[in-house]
Structure formats: C-alpha cells, structure tokens
Structure 1
Amino acid sequence: MSQLKFCSRRSPVVCMSGCVASSQSLATNAGLDILKSGGNAVDAAVAVAAALNVTEPCSTGVGGDCFCLYYDAKTKQVCGLNGSGRSPQSLTLGLLKEHGFDEANPPPTLHAYNVTVPGAVAGWCDAVELFGSKNLSMGQILQPAIELAEKGFPVSEITSYHWKRDAHVLQAAGNPHGKDLLIGGQAPEHGQIFHNPFLADTFKELARSGKQGFYEGRVAKAIVDILQNNGGVMNLEDLKNHATEEVKPIVTNYKGVNVWEIPPNGQGITALLALNISENFNMKEMDHNTANYLHILIEALKTSFSDAFWFCADPEKVSVPTTELLSKSYASNRSQLIDLQRATHSLNHGNPFSVGSDTVYFTVVDGQGNACSFVNSNYMGFGTGLVPDGCGFTLQNRGFSFSLHPEHPNCLAPNKRPYHTIIPALATAADSGELLCSFGVMGGFMQPQGHIQVLLNMLEFGMNPQQALDAPRVYVEYKKKEGSWHVFLEDGIPQNVSQELRARGHIVTMPITGHSRSMFGRGQIITKGDWWRRGRNLSSSKVLWAGSDPRADGCALGY
C-alpha cells in the first residue's frame, strides 16, 4: 500500500488508564498530572490549555478563544461549547469607514479593531463547571501552569522559531508591555528558560475569582486600556457581557462513522462537507496520496471552502443553512461538479436550498472513556501582539476574519462572532455510539483539511494514529488577489504526483520542507481501541492508542 512509502519513525503510544496528546511535552505532562490526581478529561484539557498559554504564547492563550467537544462515556452523548468572543458593541462598518477602512482597505492585521472579546477563560470555566469531575478546584487545575510560569521552563525548538518570527509584534510602538514576553527585548532561544510571573498572577486571579477575575476588575481594565490606547473601542461592558454558548455539535456519517464538529461560526462544517463529497468517490481504490486521490481531495476541499467562506457566520445574527449544507443530496450534487481530469479555479458557493495560523490543538481521554477534544487560539501567532499591563498574555486578532462587504453573511457588525478557523473533532461508531477517536489538526484554514486527511488515513488506509499524523499532507489555499486556488505539497509526496497534478491544471508548489511545514498544521489523535486496523471492531477498546504530530514540539503520554 502507498502509505508504507513514507517512514513513520515514532510508534503510537498505548495505555489504558488515561492519555493526553498536545503540541508541548510539558503541557502534556500537566494534563497527565491532573488525570492522576482524580480529574477527568475536561479538567485535564483545561490544565493543558493553561500550560500551553505559558509554553506557547506565540500560538495560544487567555487573550484568545476556545472550542470544546466532550464525549460522555456513560451516555455516549457528544456535547459542545463555543468559547469564541464577539466584536465590541461600538464597532461598526460606519466607524471603520470614518477612519478610512473598507472592504478594499481593511484594518491591518495587528490593529486593535481586530480584537474580539477573548472567550477562552469563560470557555475553560464553563467546561469545568458543566463537564468536569468536580474532584478538583480551578486552582488545582491551573496549578501546573502557574508553576511553569513562576519557576520558568526551557523553550522548545519549534516554539522558539515561531516566537522569533513574530517577536516584532511585541516590540512594536504602542505596545509598552510587549517586553513582558521577551528576554532582554528578544525572543527566547531554544532551551533558554523563560519566566512569566504576570501570567501566573492572571491565573491566580482566575483561580480565586473565576470568570469575574478576568472579565471584571484589574485584568479587564488592563485589556480595555491597551486597546483604547491603540485606537480600539472595546469597553468594560463588552467584557462583562461575554458568555460561552452551549451548542449542539454537527455531525455527518462517513461509511458507518459519525464525525462530529462544532457548528458555525466555526469552520468544522468545511470538513464535514468535504467528507460528504469524498464519499461519492472510491478514495481507497485510488490509493493514498496518488495524483487521482489528491485531485479528488483537493477538489472536494475547494468546493467545501467555497460554501463555508460564504455561509459560515454567526448563527445568532444570520441564518446559516447547516442542515441543507450537510445533506447527502447536496453533497452528491456538488460532487458532480468535480472534473476528474481538470482542476477548478473559481470560488463559487452552491445553493443548498435547491436540494432537500496559528493555534494549539490537544486531546484527552480519561480512564472512564470520557474524551475532550479542545482547541485554543490567538489566531495569527501572538494575535495583535498587544499585551495588557501586568497580565502576561497577548490579545487575539480574530476580528480580521470578518468580511467588510455589507451583504456578506459574515460581515462585521456589533456584538457578532466572526468566521472562526479553530475546530476540535470527535468520531464515534454510528451503530453503537462508542468513541472511536478524539482528534484535531491546528493551523488556520489547514484545520478542516487536516481533519479529513488524518481521518481518511485511518478509515480508508488502516494507518495507526501516529502514521496518520506522520503522513505527508496537502494544503489548499485560495489567493484572493490572484483569484485562483493554490496547492502546496509537503516533502514526501513524490515528484511525479506533482507533475500529474500540474497537468490537470493545479497551481502546485512543492516540496514544502523545514519550518515551512507548519502550514500543514500540527495534530493530535487518541483512539479507543485499534479499530483502524480491525474494520472498526471495538474488541480491544480498553486500550488507548495515541499519536502526536512531528511538526510540533509535543508528544502523547499515557499511564
């Protein structure tokens, strides 16, 4: 089989009593400690989120947003939390126009206008309250991260690279506290010890006062001050009024497997659309990462993104036709648009009514079989890079994802959530409801593309979780200025495949190597049992199997 043509150098982790997989080994350890202390999957996930804020501030933190899927082993139900924040009440298209910004000239990515209310802290607290074990306090859950921040930790190699790449946003004028995330004005080197006492203080405030310790009081005032000093309009009421939303996850059935995602405003629907379209082709027969296989995959992703870029928006503000988009008949119609020999270059969304950057992803499965699929993000690296005084974290730039076209469903409006790239995922057996895996791939618009690729690696080609993550990937991007789709192939995909794709009209760049491989995301997978090699037979379901992406600094650990 083609999947054997690449070398998977790391064995999957196997264990029975609990497992954690994240992009940073110290964060993975933090989650494992919480499991061993009596916490469940959600408690451990929040501990990992906090530890990643300390160890990967160039990707994630309490200045950003989060999404969570929770699988309850007793009820076999999947629940969801939308921890994304809304735009300030005073931020309007009219205000932007007054300051010279419009669809053709949007605010720069680092502008304070792009800061939506950070939803991560409320998401953490609400996840623990709703789904946590009740055995541990928030202070106990945050303690590993507090210790990392106070005592310091050695910075990992890939994190150091990204910290250096984006250090300029911390050094920018108008960001006097950016130096709090630097050492002597510079990003830390690989192996250099970094301390963040201000973030430790923020976590202690959260442990003492819960959500109020962030959305009201000292921290909230510091957030508002740095934003308003840089031209932003967020105020204390915007922060105080923030609330997490419990959501019903969306799902599609792919050949007997239910795949679960967070509904819009998250882009998880993109992955489900692509799966539905792919189901109309014999992907396994085409063989893994061949030109035929990648062509169908690429075209399915283009079609899915074309729909998501238009329809994915805040359902509290506009009507999102989720049911219609996920219907099998709609997918069948969309699949018929795919030419088996020619690439598509247009970006045209369908009509579902005619038929009936940088992020962290991590996952935990506990000894009772509960699973938490969790993602937390600043959006672009450090986000805006703006650091509130005495707080030790940066503020996201998620608002950059809004459209400024007045007729677009995702158009900027007051108190609205933007199109969101971060998406956790789960898979369960459609007949029994048993957990198959908790998985995700971080990385902006790569996330749904990573979801479908690693899932098909297991479902169609029998790869174990580590092999599924190790396998070379494809990334599809629509370049708006050029008006065309571009395809990037990771090192490890044969040259002749690239040549065949070019012959079909794809604009291909390859091979992508070194740190540039970050464009293909960084994933984590924990499966319950080895169903991927047993035809989804759960006879060995007591054993957890896990993999961690080699494109990151992390690992999977179990006990």
Structure 2
Amino acid sequence: MKKLVLFLLCGMVTVRTIAQQTQKPMLYGSNWMAITGKPMAATAGSMIFQQGGNAVDAACAMLAATCTMWDTLSWGGETQALIYNPKTGKVIAINAMGIAPTGATVEFFKSKGYNFPPEYGPLAATTPGTPGGLIYMLSQYGTMSLGQVLAPAMHMAAGYAIEAQAANSIERDKERIKTWPYSKKVFLTHPGEKREAPEAGEIFVQKELLATLTKMVEAEKEALKKGKNRKDALMAAYDRFYKGDIAREFVRGSKEQGGLITMEDLAKWKPVEEAPLSTNYKGIQVYKLQQWTQGPMLLQALNILENFNLKEMGYNSPKYIHTVYQAMNMAFADRDFYYGDPNQTPNEPMKGLLSKDYAKQRAALIQFEKNDAKIGPGDPYPFQGQKNPYLNLLKSRGFEIDTTKRNFAPKHDLGNYTPKAIYEDRLWRGTTSIEAADKEGWVVSVTPSGGWLPACIAGNTGIGMSQRMQSFVLDSTLNPFNVVAPGKRPRVTLSPSLFLKDGKPYVSAAVQGGDTQDQNLLQFFLNMAEFGMTVQKATEAANFNTNQLWLSLGGSKTADRAPKAGQILLNSNTKEEVRTALKNMGYILSFGDRTSGPINAIYFDRAHGTLWGGSSNHGEDYGIGW
C-alpha cells in the first residue's frame, strides 16, 4: 500500500512538473488565434472572428482597440505588417510608416539646439500611418466593413474601464501632459485633485476620438449608399481622414502647438505594399520588413550564426551567449550605419548586407576569447559588385565607446522608475504586437507603435501624434541613409516576423521593446529551431540583450545614444559559472528578472492542422484561441 501511495505521489509530481514548465498555458485552436499586448484588445479580435471575419479583419480590430487604449500606442502612430496570403502562398509586407513633414530639415532641428529630433510633442511627429495602414489592409485582404472592425474600439472610446498601467502612466507624466491643451482635456479627468489622472478601473471616455472614428465610418456608409463598392467605400473613409475635415482639424491642432504637418503632407502620404526581405536558415525561410525597419538585422545575424553549431554549444552557455552577442553586435553596427528609407536616395546596400558570403566574412571576425568592443560596420558593397562610397565617412566616424554616460533604457521609457525597474518598463511600453491566424491560412504579424503616453493630441480629433521623428539622425557620420528630410520615413525599430517551412507558415512572432525587438525575436526563434522549445516556452525563456549599439529612441544628445561596449543584460537566474566566464571575456553584466519579451507568437502544427499560441508572461499580453 505504501509503495502504491509513493507511486501515485511520484506521478502527481511528474504531472505537476510538466504543467509548470511555463508560467502561462499554451493556447490551442483549430479555427483561429488572436494574440496581442492587451487582454481587451485580444477580446476585440475574438469578437471579429466569432462574427466570421478572417485573420486580417481580426488584426485590424485588435489594432484599433490597442490604439484606443493609449498606453503603448495611439491612432496617430505607425503600423507595419507581414501577411501570409494562403491564396498565393506569398508573404506581403505593409509599410504604413508616416513621413517627416514639410520643414523637417537638419537645419531646422539644429537651429533649435537638437542633436536628434525631439522625443515628445508636435515636433516629434511624423504623419499618422495607422489609420491608412488599417484601411489598406482591410480593403485589400480583409472581408468586413470598417464599421464592423472599428465597432469594439468605438465602444471603448465611448467609455471603458481603463487598466492600471495606462492610468498610472498618465498620472506619472501629468506635468508634461499639462503643456498640451488637448491632451490635458482628454487625460486629466480630475483636474486640480491630488491624482489628476483616471483611477484604475475608472470609465475612461474619449468623446473626440469617438467622433473621429464615427466620421470615418459615416464616410464609408455614405459611399455604400451611393452604390460604391466595398473598396471604394473604405477609401472614402481614408480620404476623410487624410484629406477631409479630420485632416483639417488635425493640421490645425498640430500647428497651434508648434507642429509642422501640413494638409499636403497628409494628402501625399500613402501606405505602401512592398516585398519583404528574407533569408533561409537551415531550411526555414525567415521574412522581415525592409530596411526602413531594423528587421534585416535579424536576417544578418542568422546568416552569421549559420556558420556555427549553436545546438552543440548549449542553450545560454557562455560560448553560446558570446557567439550570439557578437553576431548581434555586427548586425547592429551595419543597421546603425546602412539602414534607411528604401524609397529615398542614397540606396542601401541590402544585397551585400544579406549575402551569405558577407556573413561568412563577418563570422570569421568573431574573437572567441573576448568581446570585441570595437567592432563596427562592415563593407557589404563588394558583395554586390560595387565600391563603398562611404569608406571615408566610416573612417572619420570611428567607433565611440561609452560605458558611463548612458542609461540602458531610452529616456522615453524611464519615467520615475527606479533603476531596477527601468528595463522592465522599457519592455512593456511604447509599442505592442499583434498576431492573428485563421483556418483558411491567413496569418498576420504586426508591431504597431507611436503616440504612446505621454502623447500630444492634435486639436479636437482625439488623435495622439507619433513620436517617431526621434529615430532620424541629423549627422550623416552616424548614418548617411537615415538623415531627416521632408517626405522621408525614419529607420524604426518596429519588426514583426514570419517563418515558413516547406513553403507553409511555421511561426509568426512579434515583440515590443525598442532596440531589443530583434534581439529577443532572434533568440526566440533559435529557442524553437535549435533547442526544440514549444512556442510558449520560447516566449518565456531567458534571453540576453546587448547594449553595444546606437539607441534608436530617447535622448536629445549624442552621448545619450552612444553604444555601451560589452554591456549585457542577463536573466537574474544566470548561473555563477556563466557570469564568471562572461566577466573574464570582458563583459559588463547587469541583471533583470525579465529579459525575453514580451513576445507573442503562433506556431502552426502541420501534423494536426492546429494553431499553438504563445503569449509572454512578462506584461499584459494575452491571447484567445478557438
């Protein structure tokens, strides 16, 4: 009897151990999956699926809902997406990044004493991209009307129970918010009281935003009444936002507060459908957005790492960490100097940068006994049969090593947080991710952003303006491809991913976190492809982050963004022997409890025809499957 009891207890322990391998459960579905950074927004996606919408419809609904919640983005920000079209078997890239407005020149910003465009306010704003991007995706690849996919967001704008994270962000940033009259009116619901922001759980009402969304839906309905087809009706809503009364009020409100955006800027801007960039890693085709994002950095890192046996090194062993860290540094050095808007001149050397031969050359530079503190951009031009026109610029640029001046997190994420919490807050704020898939085979991966708290609202539109201008540079020695100019898109950190195996979706994934996005996505992918982790375990697994790169966000001075050579963020559970080995290689160690996300992802189980959802345990990210 004792033996039987012991056996049963052992069995219970085994089951419990397996169940506790991840802090959040795996999501399973056979019909659809909706995952995003906010539970309420995931619910919005599930509502659309239940009404018969496809993954594009659901992604648009989740995008609208997260924009209405403000904490990580708003309606005046930017959107980009990778979409797998099961009808063609192709991956499509959507570029809905706004552009620098009229008057946004190097001379203008330098005359105001800036080393980079500002982090906050009207002068930080590119033209809004999200409304146009949402409408474009919906019109081309969705099935529903704008009124249907905006319905959850419109209900929220009429009043929803605001979550603590957004409410506390408003209170923390209220002094800055008070400098913008339209933001003050919307966000500070208790003016003059000790706490002027909404309380957690309070019904937060956005009358102006609701009116704006209503106008867009009305334009669609009126066009349908006149006999217009679905796409033309959606374009009527688009035109009302970018050319009609919404645009006029947006421009008026921006200019009143010192902004540069004009009616012509809004009318000229359009979302762009473009071919994604890709590479093949051991039989898996990896897709990223073009070089106006940091996405190709992940492709470059994979090309370098393909030259090593990572599995043999062992997950997060000193040699593995060192090798991946060095590969990331090399890819980031190229990102920092060569990436920019592909629709502007000069043209970026992407063929050379993504060459496997170039990657082999870079891989051969890795020093396995120590961190290379001086690794800089390589020369990809010979690998596309050209001579590098910027060799002299590279020599004059040098490589600034800074280990004392800069915080690990961009200033826009610091708030009043203690140093211990700074990095965690950085992971949670400023962007979100959206993953959607359906039984038909549509897959959508999005990393929308911009207009996060504290946001400057443009007039009586309820629309928060983007802060993405800060990702431009004013000095060509930092990056000749990313110098600010009117009509140009900045090189941004936003970076969804799609992975195909045998020509079919294998994994879709995205993550928030500024310059850490492709670091975490790279390791997430290797966790699955090299170490056989499930999608949920891979989202939670301990990663590490390099800070040997130029920050894309935060800080108005060059020193605020300069690389910290050798600085590495490790998980607090890192073993002592690993810490010692890395210190001996010249690394400067810092630690955090959360270093891997928040990643959201979907794995496609071809054997069973089912969807497996992974949603990070690091923030408010949430998913629903059916």
- CA drift at 1:283: 1.2
The 2-side partners of 1:365 and 1:107 are apart by: 37
- CA drift at 1:370: 0.9
The residue that corresponds to 1:365 in the other structure is: 437
The residue that corresponds to 1:526 in the other structure is: 602
1:31 to 45, 48, 67: 45
2:165 is the alignment partner of 1:95 = no
- Residues 208 and 493 from structure 1, CA distance in 2 versus in 1: closer, same or farther, beyond 3 angstroms? farther
Q: What does residue range 232-243 of structure 1 map to in structure 2 within 5 Å?
A: 232-243=259-270
Deviations 1:255-292 (A, max 9, x none): 11001011121110011111111111111111112222
The 2-side partners of 1:347 and 1:167 are apart by: 42
The residue that corresponds to 2:380 in the other structure is: 352
2:491 is the alignment partner of 1:419 = yes
Secondary structure (helix, strand or coil) at the match of 1:53 reads helix
The residue that corresponds to 2:183 in the other structure is: 177
TM-score (ref. length: structure 2) = 0.81
- CA drift at 1:10: 1.7
1:435 to 505, 512, 519: 505
TM-score (ref. length: structure 1) = 0.90
2:28 is the alignment partner of 1:18 = no
2:284 is the alignment partner of 1:261 = no
Which amino acid in structure 2 is aligned with residue 119 of structure 1?
G
- CA drift at 1:169: 3.4
- CA drift at 1:174: 3.7
Comparing 259-268 with 193-202, greater Cα deviation is found at: 193-202
- Residues 438 and 66 from structure 1, CA distance in 2 versus in 1: closer, same or farther, beyond 3 angstroms? same
- Residues 142 and 337 from structure 1, CA distance in 2 versus in 1: closer, same or farther, beyond 3 angstroms? same
Give yes or no for contact 2:598–2:621 (8 Å, CA) kept in 1.
no
Gap regions ≥5 residues in structure 2:
1-16, 220-236, 385-428, 551-557
The residue that corresponds to 2:239 in the other structure is: 212
The residue that corresponds to 1:534 in the other structure is: none
Give yes or no for contact 1:346–1:483 (8 Å, CA) kept in 2.
no
The 1-side partners of 2:563 and 2:109 are apart by: 25
Deviations 1:343-365 (A, max 9, x none): 12225111111235620111100
The 2-side partners of 1:347 and 1:207 are apart by: 52
- CA drift at 1:446: 1.0
The 1-side partners of 2:443 and 2:252 are apart by: 39
The residue that corresponds to 1:129 in the other structure is: 139
Deviations 1:173-198 (A, max 9, x none): 24443330233143344433322232
Comparing 286-295 with 261-270, greater Cα deviation is found at: 286-295
Q: What does residue range 474-513 of structure 1 map to in structure 2 within 5 Å?
A: 474-477=544-547, 478=549, 481=559, 483-485=563-565, 486-510=567-591, 512-513=592-593
- CA drift at 1:418: 0.6
The residue that corresponds to 1:554 in the other structure is: 621
The residue that corresponds to 2:414 in the other structure is: none
Give yes or no for contact 1:524–1:548 (8 Å, CA) kept in 2.
yes
Give yes or no for contact 1:158–1:553 (8 Å, CA) kept in 2.
no
- CA drift at 1:37: 1.1
- Residues 165 and 7 from structure 1, CA distance in 2 versus in 1: closer, same or farther, beyond 3 angstroms? farther
2:453 is the alignment partner of 1:382 = yes
The 1-side partners of 2:203 and 2:624 are apart by: 23
Give yes or no for contact 1:547–1:555 (8 Å, CA) kept in 2.
no
Give yes or no for contact 2:86–2:442 (8 Å, CA) kept in 1.
yes
The residue that corresponds to 2:532 in the other structure is: 462
The residue that corresponds to 1:336 in the other structure is: 364
- CA drift at 1:39: 1.1
1:404 to 457, 474, 488: 474
2:23 is the alignment partner of 1:9 = yes
Give yes or no for contact 1:85–1:242 (8 Å, CA) kept in 2.
yes
Secondary structure (helix, strand or coil) at the match of 2:336 reads helix
Secondary structure (helix, strand or coil) at the match of 1:505 reads coil
Comparing 45-54 with 478-487, greater Cα deviation is found at: 478-487
2:308 to 263, 273, 281: 281
2:162 is the alignment partner of 1:81 = no
The 2-side partners of 1:41 and 1:240 are apart by: 29
1:197 to 183, 192, 207: 207
Give yes or no for contact 1:61–1:376 (8 Å, CA) kept in 2.
no
Secondary structure (helix, strand or coil) at the match of 2:343 reads coil
Give yes or no for contact 1:159–1:553 (8 Å, CA) kept in 2.
no
Q: Paired residues, what number?
A: 530
Give yes or no for contact 2:35–2:435 (8 Å, CA) kept in 1.
yes
Q: If each structure's strand is expressed as a fraction of its own residues, which one has the higher value?
A: 1
The residue that corresponds to 2:298 in the other structure is: 271
The 1-side partners of 2:316 and 2:215 are apart by: 49
The 2-side partners of 1:298 and 1:160 are apart by: 37
The 2-side partners of 1:165 and 1:491 are apart by: 28
- CA drift at 1:311: 1.0
- Residues 520 and 191 from structure 1, CA distance in 2 versus in 1: closer, same or farther, beyond 3 angstroms? farther
- CA drift at 1:168: 4.1
Secondary structure (helix, strand or coil) at the match of 1:484 reads coil
- CA drift at 1:167: 4.2
Deviations 1:438-458 (A, max 9, x none): 111111111111110111111
Secondary structure (helix, strand or coil) at the match of 1:364 reads strand
Deviations 1:43-86 (A, max 9, x none): 1101000111122x021121100001110123211111100011
Give yes or no for contact 1:346–1:484 (8 Å, CA) kept in 2.
no
The residue that corresponds to 1:539 in the other structure is: 607
2:151 is the alignment partner of 1:143 = yes
The 2-side partners of 1:177 and 1:159 are apart by: 14
- Residues 167 and 372 from structure 1, CA distance in 2 versus in 1: closer, same or farther, beyond 3 angstroms? farther
- Residues 281 and 213 from structure 1, CA distance in 2 versus in 1: closer, same or farther, beyond 3 angstroms? same
2:339 to 312, 319, 326: 312
- Residues 370 and 547 from structure 1, CA distance in 2 versus in 1: closer, same or farther, beyond 3 angstroms? same
Comparing 290-299 with 45-54, greater Cα deviation is found at: 290-299
Secondary structure (helix, strand or coil) at the match of 2:460 reads coil
The 2-side partners of 1:164 and 1:336 are apart by: 51
The 2-side partners of 1:164 and 1:51 are apart by: 22
Secondary structure (helix, strand or coil) at the match of 1:436 reads strand
Comparing 183-192 with 28-37, greater Cα deviation is found at: 183-192
Deviations 1:4-41 (A, max 9, x none): 9x952222111101011111111111111111212111
Give yes or no for contact 2:167–2:197 (8 Å, CA) kept in 1.
yes
- CA drift at 1:521: 3.9
1:120 to 130, 140, 157: 130
The residue that corresponds to 2:5 in the other structure is: none
Give yes or no for contact 1:170–1:179 (8 Å, CA) kept in 2.
no
Give yes or no for contact 1:443–1:520 (8 Å, CA) kept in 2.
no
Which amino acid in structure 2 is aligned with residue 506 of structure 1?
Y
Task: Give the alignment's Cα RMSD to 1 decimal.
Answer: 2.1
- CA drift at 1:166: 4.0
Q: Identity, % of aligned pairs? A: 30
The 2-side partners of 1:436 and 1:290 are apart by: 27
Deviations 1:206-238 (A, max 9, x none): 223311232133332332233323332211111
Which amino acid in structure 1 is aligned with residue 458 of structure 2?
P
Secondary structure (helix, strand or coil) at the match of 2:433 reads strand
- CA drift at 1:165: 4.3
Give yes or no for contact 2:182–2:458 (8 Å, CA) kept in 1.
no
- Residues 556 and 241 from structure 1, CA distance in 2 versus in 1: closer, same or farther, beyond 3 angstroms? same
Give yes or no for contact 1:43–1:128 (8 Å, CA) kept in 2.
yes
